[in-house]
Amino acid sequence: MSFLNKVESKVFFRLVRVFSFFMAFIGLIMLIYALVVIVGNFLPTKSSVEVSFNDVQKAIKANSYQENPDTTNATNSNATTQINERTQYIQNKITSITQLILKKLNLPQDNFENISNNIVSNINNIDAKYQKSYLDGLYEVLEKAPANKLDDYYRQYNDLFNQKINSIIESKMKKQSSQSTYLIIALSGLGVIFMYSIILALLAIERNTRKEN
């Protein structure tokens, strides 16, 4: 065996084999990491939105008023009028909130329709699955709010609630956009494993062939 053949069989062969093992291991890590992230993105995430009285009170004290952001999940105002359990609950809650406002501000019943229409207008801009929690939280906040600052608490509650909804929407959009990236990483890892596994198999065949010769 010539010197070059010895170098090839003793040095280059081992270097290529070690490098192939290393790259196959890196590919395996890429594949596992990407699959863990992809599976994690399919797990259920928090979709409920709650704004407590303390949240609104802190925002009021900090005077952090912000303009209401537009929501992207507006419900259809011409939805079915069939009265079911959920719609009946919402109607009753709107009535309770309206009566609460009238009572705290000492307003006559003539203002009932205007106030209730304002509340309905707000919930029509909120996804149906968040409407119940919106009304529950609004009632709690207005019930505890001082009468002379009722309007401030009402506006601040809407700001905070919309901010939390937008935060959930943005989080879902980020997860969806990252899915394709991690899918590419997973496929790349699988490709690296496959390619270097073939190299290792060829090296093993070549080594066995040399021994036989």
Rg (CA), the chain: 32
DSSP 149: G
pTM: 0.55
Structure tokens at 137: 């939280």
**What amino acid occupies position 42?**
F
Burial class of residue 108 in the structure, from the number of CB atoms within 10 Å of its CB (0-12 exposed, 13-18 middle, 19+ buried): exposed
pLDDT of 85 = 77
- Distances, alpha carbon 178 to alpha carbons 34, 53, 173, 204, in Å: 10, 35, 9, 39
Digit-by-digit pLDDT tens for the chain (213 residues) are 565 556 556 666 777 778 888 888 888 888 888 888 777 766 665 556 677 777 776 776 665 434 444 433 434 333 344 447 788 888 899 999 999 999 988 889 888 989 889 888 888 888 888 888 899 999 999 998 888 888 889 998 988 888 888 888 787 777 777 777 878 888 888 888 888 888 878 877 777 776 545
Residue ranges covered by each domain of the chain: 3-44+176-212, 53-170
CA distance 152 to 108: 21
Structure tokens at 87: 């719609």
**122 near 163, Cβ under 8 Å?**
no
Dihedral (Cα; 88, 138, 154, 72), 10-degree rounding: -70
Burial class of residue 150 in the structure, from the number of CB atoms within 10 Å of its CB (0-12 exposed, 13-18 middle, 19+ buried): middle
CA distance 7 to 18: 16
